[in-house]
Structure 1
Amino acid sequence: MRVMDLTQPFRGSSAIASGLLTPGLLRGPRFRRLFPDIHVLVDTEVDFALLSRAAYLLVEGRGALGGYSAAELLGVDCAPLGAPAEIVSRHRVRPHPRLIARQDAIPPDELQVAGGLVVTSPRRTAYDIARRTSLVEAVVAVDGLANVHGFDPGDVLGVARRHRGARGSAQLPQVVELSDRRSGSPMETRIRLALRFAGLPLPVLQHRVGRYLLDLAYPAVRIAVEYNGRDHLDPDRALHDLEREAYLTAAGWSVLRFGAYIVVRRPDLVAERVRTRLDAAAREAGVPLAALSAA
């Protein structure tokens, strides 16, 4: 039997037809089935990117990855935890618990190749996600795709004009109005929206202080608001954070940091804590709270 690279998903029927595996081996303990006829080695870590690559095999040559799966291949990690893979094809694909299969004909100029797979283009992907998810998740996706691929969020409305009457399109103007391609991560977008929905002054995004960039900042009172992700637990990153914190403190800045749970589950508490700090700073500076807005 020839050696085969099984680190990526593969069609079981193709492996058998080529003589690389037997039906017995495929049904054995070495392999795991993700979708009908789509397998991986049993100890392969199945993250969202790999799940999406596996789903693509169901429509290879006659479809594409769409939605959050397309965003993942386009370099934007914005899918909710546990999201199913998403494919789009002219042909019907049998439903599966870990798969969203949409039957649609995507214009060729709204498709591209990413990571060797055919996916919906960044603008089309933003358009699709923005009309099928909640307002916050829609803005998160549009921010991320616009940031990574350098387009204006308003371009989503251009895609919508090509597909008038599509379900969910009524939400798109509000999504575009709330989007900002300067946002550096999904969590930054969530924090920004929490502040905006609470009626707080709009912060400056990606504000530079010396050699450092602050996620969201109120320069007039030197207060920054940042997401504190799991990557900050890395020893090298932790050392960098200490140096950064010392520099910002010496420059007169204070930084409010929030973890994933509170940002996602309790955005109201994020806004409340920022409001408390801004109210005190505005009183001390003798300016109205509204004067702190970047707008």
Structure 2
Amino acid sequence: MGVAGWPEVFRGSEAVAAGLVAEGALRGRRFVRIFPDVYAVAGEEAPTLALRSRAAALLVAGRGVVSGYSAAELLGASCAPFGAPAEVTLLHGRRRGHPGLLVHRDQVAEGELWQVGEVRLTSPLRTAYDLARRLDLVEAVVAVDRLANVHRFAPDLLLNFAVHYPRARGNTRIAQVLAHANPYSGSPMESRLRLLLVRAGLPRPQVQWVVQDPQARTAMWLDLAYPDALIAIEYEGEEHTSRDGVLRDIVRYTRLVARGWRIFRYTKYEIRHEPDRIIADITRALG
């Protein structure tokens, strides 16, 4: 449920017909119109992709399903860039586009559909297939990595869709995406960091490489590694900035350094804005 007993998203016409709200009130500050006749209770922040995706599901109910980045979001495999539109796939009928909504028309078999709460959406595998053939290489790999990691499937299974839908647009991209995909990648930014190195011509690093510490009887997982060169490459997300995260990293990196590892740590800002410096760092280290 949403705020004060209201559903998270609702049809404005139904709420007015039920006497829950006056039509004029829907245009006030208390509610936000997401799509035609689909509203939510206004919050302090702009509607999230998850909320907009549930609103899109209500908009196309009975005629279409949530898909693409929206499906990934509701499947717990968030990988969309900031500001991505909600996405739906129409199974029949027509629906014109709206600001903030991307509409696809495609074939989707019944076995390729899931239900999450009240939302009907494409399955993890079908969602990965759709994103793999629609996005540029890097973001396609990011999406496939995330969905495969969260839902524990082998990316090569996407080839089955290309066989089943031989005329589908974008099928020719699938093989290239699968050549770079890795279901062990721990996060979208980690996948982007890996692709940054590989596309620059550097050797493909190991993903989630395990370093044993017999004395402490523990194991340490490295985001990316060149084991022969004892080079560790870590993506530092927000969880590393908490007090516990900082203290845990101090112990972890001290043990790695004691075992001869060189550690390169990068944030999302460097990956987005200083890719050349990252490539230069690792090139020098490997040289």
The TM-score, its normalising length taken from structure 1, stands at 0.88
Aligned to 2:248: 240
Contact kept? 1:196, 1:202, Cα under 8 Å: yes
CA gap 1:105/1:13 in 2 versus in 1, 3 angstroms: farther
Q: Give CA-to-partner distance per residue, 1:1-55, whole Å, 9 cap, x none.
A: xx95236122111211222111122222211111111112222541111111111
Q: Distance in 2 between matches of 1:8 and 1:223?
A: 47
Q: Distance in 1 between matches of 2:117 and 2:235?
A: 29
Aligned to 1:251: 259
Partner-residue secondary structure (3-state), 1:257: strand
Contact kept? 1:32, 1:39, Cα under 8 Å: yes
Q: Distance in 2 between matches of 1:44 and 1:109?
A: 39
Aligned to 2:42: 42
Q: Distance in 2 between matches of 1:188 and 1:138?
A: 14
Any residues of structure 2 matched to 1:63-82 within 5 Å, and which? 63-82=64-83
- Alignment partner of 2:192 out of 190, 193, 203: 190
Shift of 1:267: 3.1
1:151 aligns with 2:159: no
Question: RMSD value over aligned CA atoms?
Answer: 1.8
Aligned to 2:272: 264
Contact kept? 1:194, 1:268, Cα under 8 Å: no
More divergent stretch after superposition (28-37 vs 257-266): 257-266
Aligned to 1:54: 55
Q: Distance in 1 between matches of 2:189 and 2:18?
A: 46
The one-letter amino acid of 1:227's match is: Y
1:229 aligns with 2:237: yes
Q: Distance in 2 between matches of 1:240 and 1:104?
A: 47
1:132 aligns with 2:140: no
Q: Distance in 1 between matches of 2:31 and 2:137?
A: 40
Aligned to 1:6: 6
Q: Distance in 1 between matches of 2:118 and 2:260?
A: 48
Aligned to 2:214: none
Q: Give CA-to-partner distance per residue, 1:66-109, whole Å, 9 cap, x none.
A: 00001111111111111000011222222111000122341101
The one-letter amino acid of 1:15's match is: A
Aligned to 1:293: none
More divergent stretch after superposition (206-215 vs 31-40): 206-215
Gaps of 5+ in 2: 212-217
Partner-residue secondary structure (3-state), 1:220: helix
Any residues of structure 2 matched to 1:204-219 within 5 Å, and which? 204-209=206-211, 210-219=218-227
The one-letter amino acid of 1:163's match is: Y
Q: Distance in 1 between matches of 2:84 and 2:21?
A: 31
Identity of aligned residues (%): 48
Contact kept? 1:65, 1:120, Cα under 8 Å: yes
Q: How many equivalent residue pairs? A: 277
Contact kept? 1:190, 1:264, Cα under 8 Å: no
Aligned to 2:215: none
Partner-residue secondary structure (3-state), 2:228: coil
Aligned to 2:96: 94
Aligned to 2:84: 83
1:277 aligns with 2:285: yes
Any residues of structure 2 matched to 1:106-145 within 5 Å, and which? 106-145=108-147
Contact kept? 1:183, 1:189, Cα under 8 Å: yes
More divergent stretch after superposition (216-225 vs 236-245): 236-245
Partner-residue secondary structure (3-state), 2:59: coil
Contact kept? 1:91, 1:103, Cα under 8 Å: no
Q: Give CA-to-partner distance per residue, 1:198-240, whole Å, 9 cap, x none.
A: 2222222111223321101122232100111123222222222
